Structure 1
Amino acid sequence: MSDVLDTPVPAAVSPEPATPSTGSQLVTDPKVMLYTRLRKSPYFWKSREHGVAMYSVYNHTYHPRHYGDPVGEYWALLEGVTLWDVGVERQIEISGPDAFDFTNMLVPRDLHKCDVGQCKYVFITAPDGGIVNDPVLLRVEEDRFWLSLADSDVGLWALGLAHAGGWNVTVREVDVAPLQIQGPKSKDVMVDLFGESILDVPYYYLRDYTIDGMNVVVSRTGYTAEIGYEIYLYDATQNAGRLWDAVWQAGRAHGIRPIGPCHMRRIEAGMLAYGSDISLSTNPMEVGYDYRWMVDLDQDADFIGKDALRRVRDEGISRLMVGLEIDGAPLGTYNDGSMIDTFPVHTSDGTGVGSVTSACYSPRLQRNIGLAMVPIEFSSLGSTVTVETPSGLRGAVVVQKPFIDPLKETPKG
């Protein structure tokens, strides 16, 4: 496992100049500054106590990427239990008399099929069908919804739409911040924290709990495709340290380990990363047949982008996100700085046709895998392309995605 970590990160596809400008010194490993202008998660100082080795910025907030050993963190997720600081998942609350109809307008899924106490993974779409965000939606009350955001300013988007449309809703960011407890032993930790009733919470449902006087919402969700939970803490700026300590103490007997987002596992699962695999320039029909169920074009209600997505459905798409197996030496873990930019995809004659948006070396599969957006004519299983990586051109073949657990049964266990 250490071979991947010990492999030097190659130069980027578009390398830095060989010589620095006059009077400067070439910096091969630039840092991201920690300072006052960027936000900190309510769990920032607690997660930092465990030795965060790399941060990125997500929702204008510092986010731990890993703690020095991404491959070790991968195996901890698969075999044990892990604790994640995901306070960057800012919670946008939509409440009020028009909350249901307004929220139903934001997303292509029919929220008539979302009960109180249920969660849904949703796209938020723009008028042209582009993806504004892909949050987890939590229906915490009849007329109160939380959007647990990916990396874009949906609060401003929803606030503007509510004002312009005269909707009787309140849109605000609430002082609620989640932690993720993920991995096969996560149930053991959660039982120690909340009792046996936690095992009755179904996949993608939520329940209110109190722990040491702190009010929380617990959901059977997570960004791992493994068994896991998220604990959403009320009054997070005040109580984050207490909750972290409580989870840590409960987890010690089970070997809990703090980790960052495990991109190797999410790529294996074909899970999308906003800003990498999807964006405003991507529509839901293009991101893979396994996501088509997230767009309900036959529902009675209108949603933003419905007409555009109907046209896309009727006219067909010109490109599709596929899974690739990529030849050559291990690419890295994705969250270690080994993939600074997308990798161009070429035909055999060198014509550029697409890009690999996320790629890594899978320790379990013992091969490089990635998600790539390619023209429809290159999307069939077995199609071959060439990928331009920092270390040179590599052959690649289109394979089924998700790469592991294609029916996604593991997290439901």
Structure 2
Amino acid sequence: MIKHVTTVDQSDRKVPYNLRQSGPTPVQMLISTRVRKSPYWHLSMEAGCWRATVYNRIYHPRGYVKPEDGGAMVEYEAIKNHVTMWNVAVERQIQVIGPDAEAFVDYVITRDATKISPMRARYIILCNHMGGVLNDPILLRLSKDEFWFSLSDSDVSFYLQGVNHDKRFNVEIDEIDVAPVQIQGPKSLALMKDLIGDQVDLDNMPFYGLAEAKVGSRDCVISQSGFSGEAGYEIYLRDATLYADDMWNAVLEAGKKHSLMVIAPAHHRRIQAGILSWGQDMDNQHNPFQCNLGYQVSLSGKGEWNKSANYVGKEALEKMKADLQSDNKPYKLQLVGMTFGGKPVEEYAPDFWLISPAEGGEPCGYITSPWYHPEQKRNIAMGYVPFDGSLSKNGFPIGKTGQKFKVHLPDMYSDTPGVPVDAEVVSIPFTESFNANTREVSKATA
């Protein structure tokens, strides 16, 4: 019998993470009309997609190079050395538009929306009244009265409409027919210059800057951003259902001389950068402090956390912050960076692998995102371990670097089957990002 592990203290969760170690499951995904095919789905199939998952109730391509041909690490080499395109139409675009757009957005996010200028984007979080993280999208501000939430994997569109059910904010909130792709890798700038010419001054485009441009003669919004830590851009295609082929094929054509490869979202590289994946590294029953997002709480500027306006979750979150600064522990587990032994992990983990104290004993934590780091020649991961109260220089919770643990790996990765491998807590990120993000700048995890 495969049993759920109960020794990991998840007592502050209503629904615990399922810690059964059931391993790979030989099933075939059912493709049906119950889940949406994005405008790029057929194009991903043409590009060789062989596996997928579901994200935001949309089919999500998650592999193009088959294991017998080198698998995900071939895709890793492409993003590290050349340039890649990802189908990320699963990032549904939720438009908030109207005279009260800024006030509404400021109310539902934890950072100060009034500090986001038109034609700029930012990484943000939304929390519920208990301080749980509902979503961590990219927020695009197109104009004074128009914002787009580029969603991670949860139904925030319904939540936003629910918040404004009484129409106290004069805004319209709904999904729009805009679908993004990501262009990521060291040759991304050169490709984008060939793709859009002099429509945008890409050399002077700031990180998270936005611009309007045509790609394949179709209207798009361009952002310097991405989910990898590498140099990169996102292309948000307007009227994507109609014009997906035009934009996609224009990128393929421009990318030929840059060795462009269509790949799945580069989770190996995003783990190196310490970028979180909602549903995997955190969910609505995690608060921002325990998953390295405490720097987003009341964020009002560079190194400033003084947002004065009220927002959903503010009371609960500021109480947590005060508790932490008083050496109290308002939750049980903390997300940390780890290195660990064993054979190279070059594939997605099917389970949350268990973590035990270094001296042995019952499991006390679990791995959320493991992968092999080729340049460092070691396995790395993010995972949850008991919170010991350690804080960064800026007062944000962190793991105690140097602390030792054991990780229980599947036999295929174990040096000796059944024997856990050594692990050590280290700082995040494992590899610096091309564009330093707010977490890195604020030293929230160091």
The TM-score with structure 1 as length reference comes to 0.89
Shift of 1:211: 3.1
Q: How far apart, CA to CA, are the structure 2 residues paired with 1:113 and 1:66?
A: 38
Q: Secondary structure at the match of 1:92?
A: strand
* 1:388 equivalenced with 2:408 (yes/no): yes
Runs of 5+ consecutive residues of structure 1 not aligned to the other structure: 1-11, 17-26
* Distance change >3 Å, CA 207–CA 28, structure 1 → 2: closer
Shift of 1:298: 2.3
Amino acid at match of 1:320: Q
Q: Secondary structure at the match of 1:360?
A: strand
- The structure 1 residue matched to 2:320, chosen from 291, 312, 320, is 312
In structure 2, what is the equivalent of residue 277 of structure 1?
281
* 1:332 equivalenced with 2:336 (yes/no): no
In structure 2, what is the equivalent of residue 323 of structure 1?
337
Q: Which piece of structure 1 moves more, 300-309 or 378-387? A: 378-387
- The structure 2 residue matched to 1:401, chosen from 399, 418, 428, is 428
* 1:43 equivalenced with 2:40 (yes/no): yes
In structure 1, what is the equivalent of residue 380 of structure 2?
369
In structure 1, what is the equivalent of residue 15 of structure 2?
none
* 1:216 equivalenced with 2:236 (yes/no): no
* Distance change >3 Å, CA 310–CA 409, structure 1 → 2: closer
- The structure 2 residue matched to 1:232, chosen from 236, 254, 260, is 236
Q: Secondary structure at the match of 2:369?
A: strand
Shift of 1:407: 8.5
Q: How far apart, CA to CA, are the structure 2 residues paired with 1:211 and 1:351?
A: 55
* Distance change >3 Å, CA 29–CA 181, structure 1 → 2: same
In structure 1, what is the equivalent of residue 354 of structure 2?
344
Q: After superposition, give the CA deviation of every residue in 1:63-110 in whole Å (9 maximum; x if it has no partner).
A: 110102210100100100001111111000001111111111111110
**Where does 1:7-22 land on structure 2 (aligned, <5 Å)?**
14-15=21-22
Amino acid at match of 1:227: A
* 1:144 equivalenced with 2:158 (yes/no): no
* Distance change >3 Å, CA 145–CA 265, structure 1 → 2: same
Shift of 1:201: 1.6
In structure 2, what is the equivalent of residue 355 of structure 1?
366
Q: Which piece of structure 1 moves more, 310-319 or 380-389? A: 310-319
- The structure 2 residue matched to 1:250, chosen from 254, 267, 276, is 254
Contact 2:338/2:380, CA 8 A, preserved across alignment: yes
Q: Secondary structure at the match of 1:188?
A: helix
**Where does 1:143-162 land on structure 2 (aligned, <5 Å)?**
143-162=145-164
Q: How far apart, CA to CA, are the structure 1 residues paired with 2:336 and 2:380?
A: 11
Q: How far apart, CA to CA, are the structure 2 residues paired with 1:148 and 1:340?
A: 27
Q: How far apart, CA to CA, are the structure 2 residues paired with 1:202 and 1:386?
A: 42
Q: Secondary structure at the match of 1:195?
A: helix
The TM-score with structure 2 as length reference comes to 0.83
Q: How far apart, CA to CA, are the structure 1 residues paired with 2:213 and 2:432?
A: 31
Contact 2:84/2:183, CA 8 A, preserved across alignment: yes
Q: How far apart, CA to CA, are the structure 2 residues paired with 1:353 and 1:266?
A: 25
Q: How far apart, CA to CA, are the structure 1 residues paired with 2:32 and 2:267?
A: 26
* Distance change >3 Å, CA 298–CA 77, structure 1 → 2: same
Contact 2:370/2:381, CA 8 A, preserved across alignment: yes
RMSD of equivalent CA atoms: 2.0
Contact 1:115/1:139, CA 8 A, preserved across alignment: yes
Q: How far apart, CA to CA, are the structure 1 residues paired with 2:38 and 2:86?
A: 12
* Distance change >3 Å, CA 122–CA 388, structure 1 → 2: same
Q: After superposition, give the CA deviation of every residue in 1:221-265 in whole Å (9 maximum; x if it has no partner).
A: 110100000000100000001100000000011110000011110
In structure 2, what is the equivalent of residue 62 of structure 1?
59
Contact 1:346/1:387, CA 8 A, preserved across alignment: yes
* Distance change >3 Å, CA 95–CA 258, structure 1 → 2: same
Runs of 5+ consecutive residues of structure 2 not aligned to the other structure: 1-18, 66-70, 299-304, 391-398, 412-417, 441-446
